Every structure is written in C-alpha cells, then in structure tokens.
Amino acid sequence: MSLHQGRRRGLVGGLMLTLSLLAGCANYAGISPQATLTPISRLSAQQVLGETPISPAAWPERAWWRALGDPELDALIDEALADSPDIGMARARLRAANAAIASARASGLPSVDGSAQISRSRVSQVQDPRGQGNFYSTTRELMLSFDYDLDLWGGKRAAWRAALGAARAQEIEFHAAALTLSVNVVRAYVSLAHAYELRDIANRQLDRAQRIDAINRELQQAGLDNQLQSLQSRVTVANARQTLEAAEQSIRSQRISLATLLGKGPDRGQSIPRPSDLAPAIVALPSVIPAELIGHRPDVIAARWRVEAASQRIKQAKAKFYPNLDLTAMAGFQSPLGDYFFSEAAKSASVTPAISLPIFEGGRLRANLESSDADYDLAVSRYNATLVEALGEVVDDITTLDSVARQRQRQQQAVTSARAAYSLAGERYRAGLANYLDVLSSEQQLLSAEQSLAQLTTQRLDRSVQLVQALGGGLQLDAAVPHAPGGFPQSPNPATMANVQP
C-alpha cells in the first residue's frame, strides 16, 4: 500500500468515524411545542355589544385621570407614582431584567483575562534531579489568556434574545404597575367622595328621625298618642345615628387606604380634602376594540413578549444538541530567573481549539428541550387566557357602564319626582291641608331616591375607571409586539432597551 493510499484511507476512516458519531449523538426528534397563539379574529363580541352604542373615539390619554377634573386627585396620583413601594419594586425588577440582557450578551463575546503569579518554594533533595536539593526556587509567571465560544448554532444569541424578550415584558409590566396604582388611587378617591355623600344623607336622615321623635313625644305628652309610637321613633333615631357613624368610619377608612397607596402613614390621609364633583373617566368608546386591544393592554403585550422569550429559549436548548467549537489561547512569560523574565527564552504561548460533541447525555438534553417546549406552551396558554380575559373585561365594563348610565338616568327622574312631591307636601302643610308627618314621609322618599342616585353615580364613575384600565390606560408603545399567529415577533432593539427610562 502506498503512502498516498494510506493517507486517503485514514481520511475516509476519520470522516466515517465523525459521521458515525454525528448519527449516534443526542437528537431532539419528536420534541416540539404543542400550543398555538389564538388569533384575535376568533374572539367575537358583536352579539353582546350589538345594542350598546359605541362612538368612535380616541383611546384614553396617558394621564387619563385628568379627565375627572380634580386637581387634588392629579396631585395624589403624582405623589403615588413617585413614592409608592409598588412602583419601587417594579422598577427594581426592570433593572434586574435589563442587567440580564447585558449578562446574556457578554456570554457570547470573547473573554480576555490577565494573571500574574510568583511562588517561592524549598526544593528537597528528593525533588532535585541532581540529588542535591536543600535550596529555594522562585517561579515567576505573567500570562494573558483568551477564550471564545464560536456559538456555531446561535445558542448564545438565542439566550440574548430571550433576555431581551423578558426585559421587554418586564418594562411593560412596569407600566402595568403604574396603571394599576393610578386606578386604585382614583377608585379609592371615588369611594371617599361617595362616603361623604352618604354622610350628608345620613345627617339628613338623623335630622328627620329626631324631628319625628320630637313630634311623637309631644303627642304622647298631650295624650294624643301611646308610648308605642314614641319607642318606635327612638329606634329610628338610634338606627340613623348608627348609619351616620358607619359613614364617618367609611371616610376614615378611605383616607387610610389612600395614604397607603401613596406610600405614606395613615396620618397622611387626614390632610386629604373632600373630593369635588367628578366627571366620568371616559365618555366615548373606541369603535374597534378587539382589533386594537392587543396593542394597548399592558398584560396582553407583556404576555406576548414572554412567548417570544420562551421561543428563543427553545432555540437555545436545541443549539446544545450540535457540536461546538471553543478557541483558547495563552501568551506570556514564565521563568524561575528574575533577570531573564522578559527574555526570549521565558516566552510561553499556546493555542487550543477544542470541539465538543454531545454523544450520550442520559436524556438530559432532551429533557431540557422538553422543559423549554413546555415553558413555551405555558407562555402561549397564558397569553391566550390573558387575551380572552382582557376582551371579556372590556366588554363587561362597556355593557355595565351603559346599563348603569340608563339606570342613573331613570333614577334621576325618580329624584326629580320625589323632590317635587316633597315640595308639594311642604306647601300643603303650610296651607293647613296636611300634617307634618306627610312632609316627613315625602322627605324619606326623597332621601332614599337621592341615596340610590348617589350609589349609581359612584358606580358609574368607578366603572368608567375600570374601563380605562381594561383599555390599557393610555399605553401606546411603538415597539408593541405584532400579533402573528404561529410566528415569532422580532426582538427589540438592544440599544433601545439599554436606555429604558421608567
């Protein structure tokens, strides 16, 4: 056999051995995600919204609460966004997510390390090849090392993109935390306004009950009535006082709730004045809610970015099934003689390319990929659930708000009629055509009607705030994730993510 033929057979044998190793190495056949993204077109709300009037309008503004028309409320929300611990926690999570981007990106870049070492040791007679020993040796070393994982299959790039997706989701959740906080402040403020209205009505109820009790006492003393009516009126007075105390406690509780939301102690709530009359947070509704919902709801957008991050982690897991090449180099000086440390003779250098190939991993790689696929399926399912829940919240808020508006309109008519009846009863009493108890009875009807109207007014305000939250609270992002069923959105620009200003 000639030398040429031997080399050729050796090359073929090496190639066959490599192919055999590749054929027998770990593989991910049969492992794939199972979940799919729900297209927005599958979610319909036309029948439910069929009779609900929807006027074309812009989505809520970023500072949507200013539409309520109370400068004190504006100041409270600014204070909450600046001092609330919830915002501080959300900001810290965002910083950690952005740090993970830098860490993931650094893992794909070359690393250069420098080291310097000096050691002094006593050489024994046994260690000395000359058999003499009993002397001291000093070794000096100065090295520069270089290591680079070539990332042939993009595993590290996928890890970086996954970190980008997770950070993007965390950024959106930061906006969601701010939205939730502002909504909670407004709702507590609306409840505080309602508590004041109930206290006003309770004061009038107590005044009415005391007047009835005084009349019954006079009648009893004059012998025109028995003790039963007087006892019953006393019960009414006691109940009215209890209702008034409950209203006072409701005011105290709402002030404490507001102080907590502001990140302050309970005493901060004592300085909050009585709210002025508030306007609904939203009066006109966008006309294409389902189609644009995914671009405005923070939870929907964040869930979509988590799907993207999970898809990149699948790519990262798959890259581990393939061979990888790592390049290591070292250069420096090493010498036991200080005078010759930087001499030509003390130079030391090496270059070490290393290839790694998974052959048998005991199922570890497949299990890791299976876990990544399951995480992707979970992220998709959470996104689908978030999308369905979001649309349900919007439609429920719209229909409820419309129903409450109609109820309030009818109750306003009832208040108008009760006020007219009370006025007429007063005129009849002053003309001697009716007794004072008729006036008090008409007054009770008026108070009950006004209490129901106050409840519906508060419910209307509260629902309008909930609708603002359901619509995304004015969130508008240029980098919103496109909704493409079955596909992956583009990862965000790292330069943009590096300068996130919460």
pLDDT by residue (tens digit) across 397-434?
888 888 888 899 999 999 999 899 888 888 887 887 77
Contact 442, 148 (CB under 8 A): no
Q: Say which residues have a Cβ less than 8 Å from residue 115's Cβ, sequence separation at least 6.
A: 141, 142, 143, 145
Position 354 confidence tier, pLDDT thresholds 50, 70, 90: confident
Higher model confidence: residue 237 or residue 224?
237
Fold agreement between 25-108+154-322+363-497 and 111-150+323-357: no
* Greater model confidence, 221 or 313: 313
**Both tokens assigned to 41:** 């077109």
Fold that domain 111-150+323-357 belongs to in CATH: Outer membrane efflux proteins (OEP) (2.20.200)
| 59 — pLDDT class (breaks 50, 70, 90) | low
Q: Is the pLDDT of residue 487 over 90?
A: no
Rounded (5°) CA angle 36-38-44: 160
Residue 245: partners with Cβ closer than 8 Å, 6 or more residues away = none
Hey, is 80 helix, strand or coil? helix
Q: 446 is written with which tokens?
A: 């008026």
Residue 252 — very low, low, confident or very high, per pLDDT cuts 50/70/90?
very high
* 141 close to 117: Cβ distance less than 8 angstroms: yes
Residue 192 has pLDDT above 90, yes or no: yes
Has domain 25-108+154-322+363-497 been given CATH number 1.10.3720.10?
no
Which H or E element spans position 142? strand 135-149
Helix (H) or strand (E) holding 356: strand 347-356
Comparing CA positions, the residue from 244, 220, 240 lying closest to residue 230 is: 220
Maximal C-alpha separation, the chain: 142
Bridge partners (DSSP) of residue 142 are 116, 333
CA distance 470 to 199: 31
Domain spans of the chain? Answer: 25-108+154-322+363-497, 111-150+323-357
The strand pairing partners of 147, in sequence order, are 111, 328
Quote the CA–CA distance of 433 and 502 in Å, as a whole number: 70
With a CB cutoff of 8 Å and minimum separation 6, the contacts of 20 are none
Using CA atoms, how far apart are residues 125 and 135, in angstroms rounded to an integer? 9
Token pair 């003779």: residue: 345
Contact by Cβ (8 Å): 304, 385 = no
Tokens 């405005």 correspond to 296
State the distance between the two ends of the chain, measured CA to CA, in whole angstroms. 75
Highest mean pLDDT among 12-16, 112-116, 199-203, 429-433: 199-203
Q: Quick check: 134 pLDDT over 70?
A: yes
